[in-house]
């Protein structure tokens, strides 16, 4: 395998101020839900990217002072010298294979509610804190002394960043999150002193901070500026003003790192945003500055990346999610191993890890954030143990990942699938509106398995318990998936509700099987709260139905706030003419109407409908497992028989791929008993003196 000459341009080194990046693959700062709580897990995650060939690797946002912090989100702290060792560990990991190590420094201003530090938030112009959660907190307008203090806090952070071993410092002024943007934008800067008013005045603080940075680090580190390409709204820092700013200050940073306006638009999901969606906003900016430009766009295609550089749009290919889904993307392109690229599917499950303060996971890269916790690797699996063969029943995301990881470990793998198509739920969901990229979950794994000599795949093979016993495999995993329920049972209704059999009822499975109603008045009841309800609403509208969307929640698809999609979903539902009934749930389903109850008052109203679609919950398809378990499977030579994935506990696709890997990694491993199955770090107890005498 050799690399196409057209991609050579991606491997030409490039100067960033006093540093040189070995190639054009630039991992822009990204959160991971671990942050300061899981320092070693984050460091190992970044080390994997270094091994995978990235030229530049950044931390997530690092808060420089407790007077501005964004609890409950877990990012990094650089509040005093005690934070240096954890970040030094990360810098060392980033540099382990020749990448430049970057730290993103943030002061959140109007964005930081300070729920942990309890300090009064300081903003360019005071006002209510602008977060996802409408915290009932206001920030105070900074006076000149505050601005002097902030410059000093930045200088402290520059010194500590250098001490920790970083090469690059990124100043965060994008997504509406960083105070540098708050200074630049007339929306958040309403000052009348020398820091407000004209663009020259609004950029004063930025000029001062960059000067301070060069001074503090003696010009040894490079400084990058991460800025929003376009802030919406009448007073927002627009794309036109950004261009004016760059023209005025073309030489200010050592590199311009340009990201879309809000995090929501910058990290759009594939359902709503195509690859390279920021091109129009970034095109032409390179001509305004002699300094290199990096931009993002969920780039996974080396052709698209090379084109961005050749066309003079970007100098570096910025990536967060593509680097999460495939930390080895640069290496694979470098070696011409294009078919090995594990493309991001644009689902934003990684983002949800940060939004929920869990730890991020990735649908495609099951090792993400498990590199240190469990010793998993995105490309390798631990060598096989004493036994030799495995049988996996069901080729959905669980079964495919289980097969791939078991095969990588060196087991002889048999994968049996009842249907003609591999991919399970993904093979069906990829045909729904906006979800085609999700098919990459199946495509990548099928492609990998097809080239492995120790894997046999049987399609059209619905196995029975007898078949399983007859295979003689050492280990068996039953990954037979789950089926959408045909009643209203989910979160609100824990038992079925009265339903007239004359009302036509549909489940998501029916619609995916092509049995969608057409030209009717259809009521969708969504007590699932993720993507499926709204996706089916779009499908039903396209089929000429009049659609009512009913949810007991206060927002349609409310969990999609965690994937940054909720507002787009709501807008699209309304724009496509769907009647959205919030805070409502059916009490009964009659022959031609539903009786809806208000979530708060229980007041009842009638909603006429000709068909009902229930997006409620799923029943595990575990009959095969239990029927096999009832036989003498151990007598047949099977050492372990496990139920995994949606067949055990239905969840998002990322949970399924994780379950597949977890099973494969556990083969021939000693029983952990009651011990933890992952590593973690526990805060060191402080035995030092208190602050006050
Ligand atoms: P998961 O998300 O856990 O992978 P899916 O529902 O996506 O679950 O996939 C389950 C797969 O298992 C489906 O492709 C289904 O056809 C297959 N399957 C179900 N029962 C059997 C069986 N008895 N033998 C083989 N395959 C089966
Ligand atoms: Fe891409 Fe989804 Fe993985 Fe995030 S979780 S990197 S969006 S595949």
Among 216-220, 275-279, 311-315, the least confident range: 275-279
> Which domain covers residue 88, as residue numbers?
5-355
Q: How confident is the model at residue 693 (pLDDT cuts 50, 70, 90)?
A: low
Residues with CB under 6 A from ligand 2: 321, 324-325, 344-350, 362-364
Q: What is the CATH number of the domain that holds 550?
A: 3.50.50.60
Give mean pLDDT, residues 292-298. Answer: 94
Q: 378: CA distance to ligand 1 center in Å?
A: 24
> Hey, which of 396, 465, 620 would you mutate to test ligand 1's pocket, going by the most ligand atoms within 8 Å of its Cβ?
396
- Residue 610, domain member (yes or no): yes
- Residue 46, domain member (yes or no): yes
Q: Are residues 331 and 199 in the same domain?
A: yes
**Residue 70: pLDDT above 80?**
yes
Pairing status of strand 100-106 against strand 56-63: parallel
Ligand sitting nearest the alpha carbon of 299:
2
* Cα–Cα distance, 149 to 41 (Å, whole number): 33
| Nearest protein Cα to ligand 2, atom 2 | 347
Q: Quote the pLDDT of residue 687.
A: 85
Q: Are residues 515 and 544 in the same domain?
A: yes
- CA 503 distance to own-chain centroid: 39
Residue in 474, 490, 540 with CA at minimum distance from that of residue 510: 540
**Residue 80: pLDDT above 70?**
yes
* Residue 427 parent element (H or E): helix 425-429
| Nearest protein Cα to ligand 2, atom 6 | 321
Q: 654: CA distance to ligand 2 center in Å?
A: 9
Residue of 691 and 354 predicted with greater confidence = 354
- Number of domains comprising the chain: 3
Q: Are residues 608 and 639 in the same domain?
A: no
Q: Are residues 401 and 491 in the same domain?
A: no
pLDDT, tens digit, 9 for 90 and up, residues 429-441 = 999 999 999 999 9
Ligand sitting nearest the alpha carbon of 652:
1
* Cα–Cα distance, 462 to 393 (Å, whole number): 8
**Residue 263: pLDDT above 90?**
no
* Cα–Cα distance, 105 to 78 (Å, whole number): 9
* Cα–Cα distance, 27 to 34 (Å, whole number): 17
Residue of 95 and 267 predicted with greater confidence = 95
Q: 685: CA distance to ligand 2 center in Å?
A: 36
- Residue 377, domain member (yes or no): no
Q: Are residues 35 and 171 in the same domain?
A: yes
pLDDT, tens digit, 9 for 90 and up, residues 633-657 = 999 999 999 999 999 999 999 999 9
**Residue 4: pLDDT above 80?**
yes
Ligand sitting nearest the alpha carbon of 365:
2
- Residue 138, domain member (yes or no): yes
Tokens of 387: 């036994």
Q: What is the CATH number of the domain that holds 651?
A: 3.40.50.720
| Nearest protein Cα to ligand 2, atom 3 | 362
Using CA atoms of 43, 45, 50, 56 in order, give the dihedral in degrees to the nearest 10.
-80
First to last CA, the chain: 69
Q: 318: CA distance to ligand 1 center in Å?
A: 37
Last residue of a domain, one of 333, 355, 377: 355
Starting at the earlier edge strand, list the strands of the sheet with 593-598.
Answer: 584-589, 593-598, 604-608
Give the number of residues written for the chain.
693
Q: 526: CA distance to ligand 1 center in Å?
A: 24
Tokens of 288: 């305004």
Residues with CB under 6 A from ligand 1: 393-399, 416-419, 424-425, 461-463, 479-482, 621, 624, 645-647, 656
pLDDT, tens digit, 9 for 90 and up, residues 595-611 = 999 999 999 999 999 99
Q: Give the CA radius of gyration of the chain.
A: 27
> Hey, which of 319, 346, 565 would you mutate to test ligand 2's pocket, going by the most ligand atoms within 8 Å of its Cβ?
346
Q: Are residues 409 and 492 in the same domain?
A: no
Name the pTM for this structure.
0.97
Give mean pLDDT, residues 372-390. Answer: 96
Scanning the structure block, which residue is given the tokens 């002097």? 148
Q: Are residues 491 and 477 in the same domain?
A: no
- Residue 284, domain member (yes or no): yes
Q: 452: CA distance to ligand 1 center in Å?
A: 22
**Residue 312: pLDDT above 70?**
yes
| Nearest protein Cα to ligand 2, atom 5 | 362
Q: Are residues 138 and 155 in the same domain?
A: yes
**How crowded is residue 122: how many other Cβ atoms within 10 Å of its Cβ?**
25
Ligand sitting nearest the alpha carbon of 653:
1
Q: Are residues 98 and 177 in the same domain?
A: yes
Q: Are residues 315 and 459 in the same domain?
A: no
Q: Are residues 210 and 127 in the same domain?
A: yes
* Cα–Cα distance, 666 to 682 (Å, whole number): 25
Residue in 586, 627, 625 with CA at minimum distance from that of residue 608: 586
Give mean pLDDT, residues 72-82. Answer: 96
Ligand sitting nearest the alpha carbon of 563:
2
* Residue 182 parent element (H or E): helix 179-184
- Residue 37, domain member (yes or no): yes
Ligand sitting nearest the alpha carbon of 480:
1
| Nearest protein Cα to ligand 2, atom 1 | 344
pLDDT, tens digit, 9 for 90 and up, residues 452-484 = 999 999 999 999 999 999 999 999 999 999 999
- Residue 469, domain member (yes or no): yes
- Residue 688, domain member (yes or no): no
> Hey, which of 296, 298, 364, 444 would you mutate to test ligand 2's pocket, going by the most ligand atoms within 8 Å of its Cβ?
364
Pairing status of strand 640-643 against strand 475-478: parallel
Q: How confident is the model at residue 1 (pLDDT cuts 50, 70, 90)?
A: confident
Ligand sitting nearest the alpha carbon of 625:
1
Q: Where are the alpha helices (DSSP H) in 124-198?
A: 144-164, 179-184
* Cα–Cα distance, 123 to 109 (Å, whole number): 4
Give mean pLDDT, residues 124-144. Answer: 95
Residue 105 · residue 58 · CB < 8 Å: no
Q: 424: CA distance to ligand 1 center in Å?
A: 6
**How crowded is residue 239: how many other Cβ atoms within 10 Å of its Cβ?**
18
Residue 399 · residue 393 · CB < 8 Å: yes
Q: 529: CA distance to ligand 1 center in Å?
A: 24
Residues linked to residue 478 through DSSP beta bridges, in sequence order? 393, 643
Nearest atom within ligand 1 for CA of residue 399: 4
Q: 269: CA distance to ligand 2 center in Å?
A: 9
**Residue 234: pLDDT above 70?**
yes
Tokens of 223: 């400084």
∠ Cα 412 413 418 (to 5°): 155
Q: Are residues 510 and 592 in the same domain?
A: yes
Q: How confident is the model at residue 489 (pLDDT cuts 50, 70, 90)?
A: very high
Q: What is the CATH number of the domain that holds 130?
A: 3.20.20.70
**Residue 136: pLDDT above 90?**
yes
**How crowded is residue 549: how many other Cβ atoms within 10 Å of its Cβ?**
28
Residue 478, C-beta contacts closer than 8 angstroms, at least 6 positions apart: 393, 394, 468, 622, 624, 625, 628, 641, 642, 643, 644, 647
Q: 417: CA distance to ligand 1 center in Å?
A: 7
Q: 237: CA distance to ligand 2 center in Å?
A: 29
**How crowded is residue 144: how many other Cβ atoms within 10 Å of its Cβ?**
10
Q: 172: CA distance to ligand 1 center in Å?
A: 45
Q: Quote the pLDDT of residue 9.
A: 98
Q: 585: CA distance to ligand 1 center in Å?
A: 31
| Nearest protein Cα to ligand 1, atom 11 | 394
* Cα–Cα distance, 66 to 85 (Å, whole number): 18
Q: 3-state DSSP call for residue 256?
A: strand
Nearest atom within ligand 1 for CA of residue 462: 24
Q: Quote the pLDDT of residue 252.
A: 95
Nearest atom within ligand 1 for CA of residue 644: 3
């Amino acid at each position: 395998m050799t690399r196409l000459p057209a991609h050579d341009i991606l491997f030409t080194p490039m100067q960033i101020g006093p540093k040189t990046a070995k190639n054009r693959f630039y991992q822009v700062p990204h959160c991971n839900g671990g942050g300061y709580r899981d320092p070693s897990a984050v460091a190992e995650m970044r080390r994997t990217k270094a091994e995978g060939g990235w030229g530049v690797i950044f931390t997530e946002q690092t808060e420089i002072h407790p007077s501005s912090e964004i609890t409950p989100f877990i990012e990094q702290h650089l509040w005093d010298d005690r934070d240096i060792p954890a970040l030094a560990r990360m810098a060392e990991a980033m540099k382990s294979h020749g990448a430049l190590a970057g730290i993103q420094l943030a002061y959140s201003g109007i964005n930081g509610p300070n729920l942990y530090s309890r300090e009064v938030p300081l903003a360019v112009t005071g006002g209510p804190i602008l977060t996802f959660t409408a915290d009932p907190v206001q920030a105070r307008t900074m006076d000149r002394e505050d601005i002097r203090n902030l410059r000093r806090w930045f200088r402290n952070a520059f010194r500590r960043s250098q001490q920790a071993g970083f090469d690059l410092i990124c100043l965060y002024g994008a997504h509406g999150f960083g105070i540098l943007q708050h200074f630049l934008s007339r929306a958040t800067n309403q000052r009348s002193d020398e820091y407000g008013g004209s663009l020259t005045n609004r950029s004063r603080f930025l000029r001062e901070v960059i000067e301070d940075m060069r001074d503090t680090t003696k010009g040894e580190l490079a400084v990058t500026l991460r800025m929003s390409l376009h802030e919406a709204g009448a007073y927002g820092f627009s794309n036109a003003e950004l261009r004016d700013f760059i023209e005025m200050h073309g030489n200010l940073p050592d590199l311009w790192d340009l990201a879309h306006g809000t995090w929501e638009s910058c990290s759009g999901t594939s359902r709503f945003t195509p690859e390279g969606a920021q091109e129009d906003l970034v095109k032409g900016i390179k001509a305004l500055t002699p300094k290199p430009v990096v931009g993002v766009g969920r780039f996974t295609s080396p052709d698209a990346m090379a084109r961005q550089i050749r066309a003079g749009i970007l100098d570096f290919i910025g990536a967060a999610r593509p680097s999460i889904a495939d930390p080895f993307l640069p290496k694979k392109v470098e070696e011409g191993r294009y078919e090995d690229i594990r493309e991001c599917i644009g689902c934003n499950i990684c983002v949800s890890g940060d939004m929920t303060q869990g730890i991020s996971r990735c649908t495609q890269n099951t090792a993400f954030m498990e590199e240190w916790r469990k010793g998993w690797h995105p490309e390798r699996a631990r060598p096989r143990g004493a036994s030799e063969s495995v049988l996996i029943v069901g080729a959905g995301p669980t079964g495919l990942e289980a097969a791939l990881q078991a095969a990588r470990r060196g087991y002889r793998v048999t994968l049996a699938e009842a249907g003609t198509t591999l991919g399970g739920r993904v093979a069906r969901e990829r045909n729904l509106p906006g979800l085609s990229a999700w098919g990459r979950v199946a495509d990548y794994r099928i492609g990998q398995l097809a080239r492995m000599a120790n894997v046999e795949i049987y399609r059209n093979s619905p196995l029975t318990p007898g078949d399983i016993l007859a295979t003689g495999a050492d280990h068996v995993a039953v990954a037979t998936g789950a089926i959408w329920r045909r009643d209203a049972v989910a979160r609100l209704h824990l038992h079925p509700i009265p339903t007239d059999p004359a009302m036509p009822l549909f489940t998501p499975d029916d619609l995916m099987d092509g049995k969608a109603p057409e030209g009717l008045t259809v009521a969708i009841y969504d007590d699932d709260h993720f993507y499926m309800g709204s996706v089916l609403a779009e499908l039903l509208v396209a089929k000429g139905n009049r659609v009512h969307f009913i949810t007991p929640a206060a927002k349609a698809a409310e969990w999609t706030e965690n994937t940054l999609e909720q507002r787009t979903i709501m807008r699209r539902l309304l724009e496509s003419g769907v009647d959205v009934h919030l805070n409502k749930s059916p009490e009964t389903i009659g022959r031609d109407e539903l009786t809806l109850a208000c979530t708060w008052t229980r007041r009842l109203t009638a909603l006429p409908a000709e068909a009902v679609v229930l997006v409620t919950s799923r029943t595990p398809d575990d009959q095969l497992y239990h029927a096999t378990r009832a036989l003498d499977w151990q007598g047949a030579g099977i050492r372990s028989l496990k139920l995994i994935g949606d067949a055990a506990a239905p969840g998002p696709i990322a949970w399924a791929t994780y379950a597949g890997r977890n099973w494969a990694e556990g083969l021939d491993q000693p029983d952990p008993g009651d011990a933890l199955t992952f590593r973690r770090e526990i805060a060191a107890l402080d035995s030092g003196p208190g602050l006050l005498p």
